Amino acid sequence: MNQKGIVLSGLVYVLLIFFLLLILSLLTVMWYRQNTLNTLSNNANEIYDENEKIINGPYYNASEGVNHPYLAKGMTPVKWDGSKWIMTTTDDPDWYDYKESSKKWANAITEDDSMWVWIPRYSYNISAEWHSNVTGTINIQFSMVTDDTRGGTVTIVDTGSSNDSNGTWTNHPAFTFGDAELTGIWVAKFEASGTKDSISIKPNKSSLRNLTIGEMFTSARGMENNDLYGWGSDGKFIDTHMAKNVEWGAATYLSKSIYGKNIDRIWINPADNYTTGCAGEVESSLSTTGCLYQYYTPKGVQTSTTGNVYGIYDMSGGTYEYTAAYVDNFNINLITYGNSIINAADKYKDIYTKASTETQENNYTTALNKKGDAIYETSNSYTGTASWFADFSQMAYDKYPWFNRGSDWDTFSTSPFSFICSEGLGGVNTFRPILLVNNSL
């Protein structure tokens, strides 16, 4: 072969190697991009089929002793690095740790940076001060997926009555949604803020108020069809709604167990401008001018359900939170202010039976037929400072058929165990969204 031929052959060889390296580089970039998307956008372990249905499903994390959080599309796990929230993956062992020594409840954000906290399914019993105004003891057993008996090792009493929890183990009704058995629920980390058409769940924001209870319910339901949050607009495999009493109760009972703040009272959010995630100087601070201490400060974390940054905030103080719960007494205020709730399916509301002779006291007595709602089980009277932590009790009745929870920034006798009746009209009240994720939804 002459010299020219050798040069040409060498050039062809070099070009061939170049193109092979180029193709290899492109394939590497494509693999890395897809792997990154799988990790962050689809949250690592959440696998979706062509219909965006989660096909790996929920599971019990034996090493942590709880059900692994069930994420919707658009949700990303986050953890606290000591100064800020950082994104992580679902297989990160540092994402959550519900054990008594850690009390790190799982947190996640949606694409708008709204924050949610995972309450794993559990059964419970009240071993001391059931139906009392003396603060008692709530014991928790985390379920294995939807098995509340934990493989037959826990005997469950389930008549639907408050009596079920009186020293015996019972299932919690918050984890049954119509025909769907849930492995847990996502609770808004802070009171709702933003607008009725664009709800956000963020700290250091003014809570969303001046809506009737029915408008709040409609707004919370509309979240599931709003692609602002990253889960699309068809509502597949998720449900968003206004918190019911039993969902409020699920977070409250977990907070009162060894896995939450337990015997220590949750501090009041005393910010007089209704700022979310705030604390005052001491546990019982009332009516501070604005937000003295934000949620992540040493004082701020005392207003969470865990006493650390991983808990749920604004369940004591802040402002009154409406729940989708009412006494079915046919009062005009049910329709006037909450018609959307009245017309909703039963799974979206807690309905309390009106006593045959309606008085506040008699309606309270009929509440014996409910459990898990932090009403009858954790109080001993229809009125006064009759709830655990000497908090206000005020049973719904007559023209006040709706329930408020948590009281406001200027109420001393308040905690998540407080309940107050209301007409349902707009004003200082706010609400708390709930997010459910399940392939049957």
Q: For residue 345, how many C-alpha atoms fall within 13 Å in the half-sphere facing its CB?
A: 7
**pLDDT at residue 323 is higher than 90:** yes
Per-residue pLDDT of 414-438, as tens digits, reads 789 999 999 999 999 999 999 999 9
Per-residue pLDDT of 253-272, as tens digits, reads 999 999 999 999 999 999 99
**pLDDT at residue 279 is higher than 90:** yes
Q: Is residue 43 part of a domain?
A: no
Q: Is residue 32 part of a domain?
A: no
Q: Is residue 159 part of a domain?
A: yes
Residue 270, amino acid: P
In 3D space, the residue among 78, 104, 80, 101 whose CA is nearest the CA of residue 90 turns out to be 78
Confidence bin at 411 (pLDDT 50/70/90): low
Range of the domain at 139: 64-441
pLDDT of residue 286: 79
Segment 327-346 shows an average pLDDT of 98
136: tokens are 């008692």
Per-residue pLDDT of 91-130, as tens digits, reads 999 999 999 999 999 999 999 999 999 999 999 999 999 9
Asked whether the beta carbons of 323 and 370 are under 8 A apart, the reply is no
Q: Is residue 428 part of a domain?
A: yes
Asked whether the beta carbons of 440 and 236 are under 8 A apart, the reply is no
Confidence bin at 9 (pLDDT 50/70/90): low
Give the whole-angstrom CA distance, residue 198 versus residue 311.
Answer: 24
In 3D space, the residue among 139, 120, 119, 117 whose CA is nearest the CA of residue 128 turns out to be 139
Asked whether the beta carbons of 327 and 401 are under 8 A apart, the reply is yes
Q: Is residue 54 part of a domain?
A: no
Give the whole-angstrom CA distance, residue 274 versus residue 95.
Answer: 30
Residues of the chain with pLDDT > 70, as a percent, come to: 86
Q: Is residue 201 part of a domain?
A: yes
Confidence bin at 250 (pLDDT 50/70/90): very high
Per-residue pLDDT of 33-78, as tens digits, reads 344 334 433 443 444 554 555 545 689 999 999 999 999 999 999 9
pLDDT of residue 366: 97
Answer with the residue of higher pLDDT: 146 or 20. Answer: 146
Per-residue pLDDT of 24-40, as tens digits, reads 655 543 444 344 334 43
Give the whole-angstrom CA distance, residue 431 versus residue 205.
Answer: 14
Q: Is residue 210 part of a domain?
A: yes
Per-residue pLDDT of 362-384, as tens digits, reads 999 999 999 999 999 999 999 99
> Other C-beta atoms within 10 Å of 114: how many?
25
Q: Is residue 92 part of a domain?
A: yes
Residues of the chain with pLDDT > 90, as a percent, come to: 80
Give the whole-angstrom CA distance, residue 114 versus residue 230.
Answer: 11
Q: How far is CA 323 from CA 47, 287, 355, in A?
A: 34, 24, 21
Q: Number of structural domains, the chain?
A: 1
Between 149-163, 320-334, 346-360, 395-409, the lowest mean confidence (pLDDT) is in 395-409
pLDDT of residue 19: 58
Give the whole-angstrom CA distance, residue 147 versus residue 142.
Answer: 9
pLDDT of residue 330: 96
pLDDT of residue 32: 40
Give me the residue label for tokens 């329930």: 403
Give the whole-angstrom CA distance, residue 393 versus residue 380.
Answer: 9
pTM: 0.88
Asked whether the beta carbons of 183 and 146 are under 8 A apart, the reply is yes
347: tokens are 């799974």
Residue 193, amino acid: S
What is the chain's mean pLDDT, rounded?
90
Give the whole-angstrom CA distance, residue 101 versus residue 90.
Answer: 21
pLDDT of residue 29: 39
Q: What single DSSP character describes residue 387?
A: E
Alpha helices, DSSP H only, in 209-307? 213-222, 245-255
Give me the residue label for tokens 């699309």: 232
